[in-house]
Amino acid sequence: MTFPKISQSYTDPYDYPQGIAFQDGQYLMMRDAKVSVLDWGFLHSDATYDTVHVWDGGFFRLDLHLDRFFAGLQKLNMTIPFDRSEVTDILTNCVALSGYQNAYVEMLCTRGGSPNFSRDPREAVNRFMAFAVPYGSVANPDQMKRGLRIAISDVVRIPPKSVDPSIKNYHWLDLVRGLYDAFEKGAETALIVDTNGNIAEGPGFNVFVVNNGALHTPEFGVLPGITRRTVFDLCRKLDLKVSVGDVSPEFLKGGEEVFITSTAGGIMPVSTVDDVAFGNGKPGPITTRIKTLYWEMHKHPEWATQIEYPTDV
């Protein structure tokens, strides 16, 4: 297999993660990938993206991430000059050129801009980009072992009538406000609520609560995460009941176990929500069963897509 060349340019004064990006038809060192300050993706958060991870040299559930990305493009009236197969090749090349066996890989499209700074989005030229950087997790190794400390913020998640949550986007100001609320309470991350005061989601993750041996997760106003969907699939394999619907703060804190899910970290246990502790400082048994099967499935060809790496990089 012939791999593309990496363009080398200048050293940036800012410190960025090492990695490989694809932009404007060429592969670049991560530090050299740039977006114009006039791009609507920067000015208006007018963009969509998706993130898939690579583990032990293989993409995990890549097809589902591609499905969501191309659905988002369609819903936002965006177009890119690549089809699904070509995007797959670009993502694969980014990972292969980086050499990372475990990677965080993103595909994104911004609205772009127009030569005359028009405010008509139809005149903007959409821009596709992709990159691969080292794998990262919402929870660090210590938090994975003993569980995250979460605080519930009263910040309200952007309602679905304003922004379709099925379109993965960069509208994070509500989530960032929730994070600062959590930090002030001594917690490590946050959950924010929907317009009805029920639990919605956190910064980059969905949440599950185990009650009487069954799993429950919020439905209204949340991103239908790929890892969230994976939990549904794993529950079928484990013969566990799971339901979606309203999850009040009281119901969440009255559960037996709580865990969060994200491409960045997978299945991550929660030790406390506000002042309520779960278990004995260790992940609960159901969380552990799901987490174990989750990582086992990374080796299964049903969900894993192996990457061919060049021998000279």
In this predicted structure, what is the pLDDT of residue 17? Answer: 80
CATH topology assigned to domain 6-134: D-amino Acid Aminotransferase; Chain A, domain 1 (3.30.470)
Q: What whole-number distance in Å separates Cα of residue 254 and Cα of residue 26?
A: 52
As a whole number of Å, the end-to-end CA separation of the chain is 13
In this predicted structure, what is the pLDDT of residue 298? Answer: 97
Q: Where are the domains of the chain?
A: 6-134, 141-298
Q: What share of the chain is helix, strand, coil (3-state, %, to 5)?
A: 30, 30, 40
In this predicted structure, what is the pLDDT of residue 1? Answer: 76
In this predicted structure, what is the pLDDT of residue 286? Answer: 98
In this predicted structure, what is the pLDDT of residue 11? Answer: 60
134 CB neighbour count, 10 Å cutoff:
13
> How would you write the pLDDT of the chain (313 residues) with one tens digit per residue?
778 888 876 566 667 789 999 999 999 999 999 999 999 999 999 999 999 999 999 999 999 999 999 999 999 999 999 999 999 999 999 999 999 999 999 999 999 998 888 889 999 999 999 999 999 999 999 999 999 999 999 999 999 999 999 999 999 999 999 999 999 999 999 999 999 999 999 999 999 999 999 999 999 999 999 999 999 999 999 999 999 999 999 999 999 999 999 999 999 999 999 989 998 878 999 999 999 999 999 999 999 999 999 986 5
In this predicted structure, what is the pLDDT of residue 74? Answer: 98
pTM reported for the whole predicted model? 0.94
CATH topology assigned to domain 141-298: D-amino Acid Aminotransferase; Chain A, domain 2 (3.20.10)
Angle between helices 226-238 and 62-75 (to 10 degrees): 140
- DSSP notation for 102-141: SEEEEEEEEEEE-TT--S-GGGSEEEEEEEEEE---SS-H
